[in-house]
Every structure is written in structure tokens, then in C-alpha cells.
């Protein structure tokens, strides 16, 4: 008797769900999904290989934390963009940075000495960017050698010596990726590039301004932006700041003291700050540009984020956000607007961005 009663309840439930669907709830679901798709955020991480000023955080801990960060990001299949401080690099980080690249994350330039553009001349600043470029070049060459894949254009052309000119043959790739190797070995030239870029991100020509300072005079800004443009760099702006550097020192102490309660409370406080900044930036975009923009979140590769990034990702996913890579975010036209701010403060992009109709008469303001 109990069994029959249960069957009846289940049947009624199924019927009522079908009835609701018939009334258009599936259409609503599709609509909601579309609306949700409009919210996009890219995650960017500064001060690689690892940010810490606590002398009790050992090199071993830093490396463990670096891997822990990557494990979490990988679990959610999220691709992040990291920015290297050239002077903080040493060859013992190769293994870790190559893993970063190998898993499809971007590795870009954050100057060699983490310079503040307010403190140096434009020429000194661009020289420092160049020094970090050389370091990145070393890392990417090592990554390419380890993965045994051609990197430069000339190498790709040099290996194109087969009977079928539209097919390319390449040295063996990582044996673990046999399907990808097959795909790459038989791909036409253009396809090869696509497959390669999709799998490993070998483009290190992204630049993040330390302290978000782009130059405190129009002249300095001009020198720096021209240098970046001529050297193939894309600027990676920021729209959501996390202020993680305020929370991280306390978190490191709690970690060293194995005080889990304190760690959890700092994580909660920090997450609340990210949520508030996200809503602020979203509201500002809607008020100013009358639409959602593809947002770019900034935090640092430190202990706090190595242990909290999963919670950050989950909050975005649970609240209707799609996490995209930096390149996708940069496709938003808001990143093509003019930066009319020439002051000394490192303010986020949306406060700088102005849609300006360019005319040939508009002169460059050479304020110094």
C-alpha cells in the first residue's frame, strides 16, 4: 500500500513539472541563461612567481602554494593571466612557470623591478620593461624546448618540407597528448597555429602596470604606450581590485600559527571585499556605459589566493558569471577607449576610459 502511495506521489510530481514546463518555464530558463552569459570576468594575477614579504614563508612553501593555486584553477578549467616581476625570477622557478604556461595560462610582463612610473623617467621605465621581456624570452624558450614544439615563425617554415605543402610535420610533442599530436601533425598551417595557441599560450606580450600607474604626465604616458605598442604588447587593464595585499600578511601569520579559525575568518572578509568591488564595478559600468562590460579582476599570487581562489571562482559561477580568459575580456570595446587620466594615481580602467571621437585636429596634451 505504501509503495502504491509513493508511486502516486512521484507520478503527480512528474505531471506537475511537465505542466509547468508546458506553461513556458523552459523559455524563462533559456532567457535567464542568456542574461547570465552577459556577465563575464577574467582573472589576472600579479607579482609572479610569488608575493610574500614574510621571512618565515620559505621557498618550499612558496612553491607548494604556487602548485596549489594551479591545481585549483585547473579543477575549474579556468585560464588565468599572470604577470611576472623579472627580478623575482630565478631558474629554480622554471618548472613551476612552465607548468603555468603548459596548462594554457598566460604569462605576461610586470616590469623587471616592479617600477612605479611616478618615480622614474619614461626612458628608465621602458628599459625596465625590456629587461623583463628578456627574462620572459628565456622562460618561453625553455618551455618550448621542454614541450618540443616549434616556436618562432622561421622554425615553423623550416619544418614545412613535406610532399604535401599544406601539411606540416613537427617534432614529437608530449607523448601523453597523443590525440592532440595527431591533430597537430595533420593540421594545415593556419589550423596548426590555432591548435597550438589554444593548447599552450605562448604569447607573453601582455603588460600590466605595477600599482596601475600608467605615467603621471602625458609625455611619459606617450613614451611608455608607444614602446609597448611598437614591441607588440597589449596592456592588461584592471576593473576590479581585490586589495588582497591588505589581508595577506595577516593570513600568512595565521597560517604559520596553524590558526584555522583565523584563516577562515580572513578568507570570508576578503571574499566579501571582492564581492563588493565586483558589484561596484558592475554598477559603475551600467551607469556610465549603460551595459555590462567584460570585467577584469586583479589579485596577486600569494598565500591567501592560493588557498582561496576556489572560493572566488565558485562565487562568480554561482552568481551568474562566466569566467573567461584575458584575451576574451579584452575584446570588449571599452578597452579600446581613450585613457584621458594623466595623474599620479593608479586608478582602475573604467574610471579612466572615455569614449572619444577622434579627430585629426585634436592635439596631444603635453602637460609635464
Q: Please count the CA atoms within 13 angstroms of the CA of 307 that sit on its side-chain side.
A: 19
Q: How many helices (H) and strands (E) does the chain have?
A: 14, 10
Provide, rounded to whole angstroms, the least separation between the CB of residue 82 and Zn ion. Answer: 11
Provide, rounded to whole angstroms, the least separation between the CB of residue 245 and Zn ion. Answer: 9
Residue closer to Zn ion, measured from CB, 109 or 216: 109
Angle, alpha carbons 198-159-153 (nearest 5°): 55
301: three-class secondary structure by DSSP:
coil
Integer Cα distance of 147 and 121 in angstroms: 39
Which residues, 11 to 70, sit near Zn ion by CB under 5 A? 46-47
Label residue 211 left, alpha or beta by phi (over 0 means left) and psi (-120 to 50 means alpha).
left
Residue closer to Zn ion, measured from CB, 108 or 150: 108
Encoded one letter per residue, x for contact with Zn ion by CB under 5 A and - for no contact, window 208-247 reads: --x-------------------------------------
Phi, psi angle pair for 9, to nearest 5°? -65, -45
Residue closer to Zn ion, measured from CB, 47 or 128: 47
Provide, rounded to whole angstroms, the least separation between the CB of residue 349 and Zn ion. Answer: 16
Strands 40-48 and 322-324: parallel
Residue closer to Zn ion, measured from CB, 192 or 206: 206
Whole-angstrom CA distances from 249 to 50, 256, 266 are 13, 11, 10
Residue closer to Zn ion, measured from CB, 40 or 117: 117
Provide, rounded to whole angstroms, the least separation between the CB of residue 300 and Zn ion. Answer: 7
Instruction: Show the cell assigned to 130.
Output: 625590456
Residue closer to Zn ion, measured from CB, 147 or 236: 236
- Decide if residue 128 touches Zn ion (CB under 5 A): no
Provide, rounded to whole angstroms, the least separation between the CB of residue 147 and Zn ion. Answer: 28
352: three-class secondary structure by DSSP:
helix
Provide, rounded to whole angstroms, the least separation between the CB of residue 47 and Zn ion. Answer: 4
Task: Enumerate binding residues for Zn ion (CB under 5 A).
Answer: 46-47, 210
Amino acid at each position: 500500500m505504501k509503495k502504491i502511495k509513493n508511486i502516486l506521489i512521484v507520478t503527480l510530481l512528474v505531471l506537475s513539472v511537465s505542466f509547468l514546463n508546458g506553461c513556458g518555464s523552459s523559455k524563462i530558463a533559456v532567457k535567464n541563461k542568456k542574461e547570465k552569459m552577459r556577465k563575464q570576468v577574467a582573472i589576472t594575477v600579479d607579482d609572479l612567481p610569488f608575493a610574500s614579504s614574510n621571512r618565515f614563508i620559505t621557498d618550499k612553501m612558496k612553491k607548494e602554494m604556487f602548485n596549489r593555486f594551479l591545481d585549483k584553477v585547473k579543477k575549474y578549467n579556468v585560464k588565468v593571466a599572470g604577470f611576472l616581476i623579472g627580478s623575482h625570477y630565478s631558474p629554480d622557478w622554471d618548472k613551476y612557470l612552465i607548468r603555468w604556461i603548459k596548462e594554457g595560462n598566460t604569462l605576461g610582463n610586470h616590469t623587471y623591478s616592479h617600477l612605479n612610473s611616478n618615480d622614474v623617467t619614461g626612458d628608465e621605465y621602458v628599459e625596465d620593461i625590456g629587461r623583463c621581456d628578456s627574462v620572459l624570452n628565456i622562460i618561453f624558450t625553455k618551455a618550448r624546448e621542454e614541450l618540443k614544439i616549434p616556436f618562432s615563425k622561421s622554425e615553423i617554415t623550416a619544418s614545412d618540407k613535406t610532399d604535401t605543402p599544406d601539411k606540416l610535420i613537427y617534432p614529437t610533442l608530449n607523448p601523453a597528448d597523443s590525440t592532440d599530436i595527431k591533430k597537430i601533425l595533420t593540421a594545415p598551417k593556419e589550423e596548426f597555429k590555432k591548435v597550438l595557441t589554444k593548447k599552450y599560450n605562448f604569447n607573453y606580450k601582455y603588460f600590466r602596470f605595477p600599482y596601475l600607474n600608467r605615467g603621471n604626465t602625458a609625455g611619459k604616458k606617450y613614451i611608455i604606450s608607444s614602446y609597448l605598442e611598437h614591441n607588440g604588447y597589449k596592456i592588461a587593464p584592471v576593473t576590479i581590485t581585490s586589495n588582497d595585499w591588505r589581508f595577506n600578511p595577516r593570513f600568512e601569520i595565521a597560517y604559520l600559527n596553524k590558526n584555522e579559525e583565523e584563516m577562515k575568518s580572513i578568507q570570508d572578509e576578503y571574499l566579501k571585499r571582492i564581492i563588493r568591488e565586483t558589484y561596484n564595478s558592475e554598477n559603475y559600468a551600467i551607469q556610465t556605459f549603460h551595459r555590462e562590460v567584460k570585467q577584469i579582476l586583479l589579485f596577486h599570487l600569494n598565500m591567501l589566493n592560493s588557498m582561496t581562489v576556489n572560493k572566488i571562482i565558485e562565487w562568480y559561477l554561482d552568481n551568474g558569471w562566466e569566467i573567461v580568459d584575458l584575451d576574451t575580456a579584452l575584446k570588449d570595446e571599452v578597452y579600446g577607449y581613450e585613457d584621458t587620466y594623466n595623474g599620479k594615481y593608479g586608478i582602475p580602467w573604467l574610471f579612466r576610459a572615455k569614449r572619444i571621437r577622434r579627430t585629426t585636429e585634436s592635439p596631444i596634451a603635453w602637460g609635464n
